[in-house]
Amino acid sequence: MADRFLYHPFRFGAQGGVAVTEDPDRHLRDKVEAVLFTAPGERVNQPDFGAGLNRAVFETLDELSIAALEFRVSQALRRDIGEEIIIDSVDFEPEPEAGELVLHIAFRRRSDQRPRSLEVRL
């Protein structure tokens, strides 16, 4: 039987039970997204959890603020799920003509060391 993982964020499935997935990459991606979009202080018992990436929408996009965002995201990922992943790089790429900020994360699961990546458009 394959390993089963709860969806992050927690939700109920079609049959009324807890939603689960057998895809470990999906589970890991859900956990990374939970760290990215949870603001510090949002979780009562874990006040330091999260990077608060939602706030980036309202911040200026100069070189200094982009570097601070990259640092904030990489530190949050290392702190909150660092026992499962190794962060290779965190890069923000502003696309002012499209009105977007693109986040590229390169990481590896500690168990198999296979490179993975995630792109988030804000």
Q: How many domains does the chain have?
A: 1
What pLDDT digit, counting tens, does each position of 67-78 carry? 999 999 999 999
Task: Give the closest residue to 88 by CA, choosing from 101, 106, 103, 70.
Answer: 106
- Residue-wise pLDDT tens digits, 4-63: 555 555 555 565 555 566 677 887 888 899 999 999 998 889 899 999 988 877 777 788
In a domain, 72, yes or no: yes
Q: Which domain holds residue 40?
A: 25-121
* DSSP line for 63-75: HHHHHHHHHHHHH
Q: Could you tell me the pTM of the whole model? A: 0.80
In a domain, 7, yes or no: no
Does residue 80 form part of some domain? yes
- Tell me the CATH number at 41: 3.10.450.40
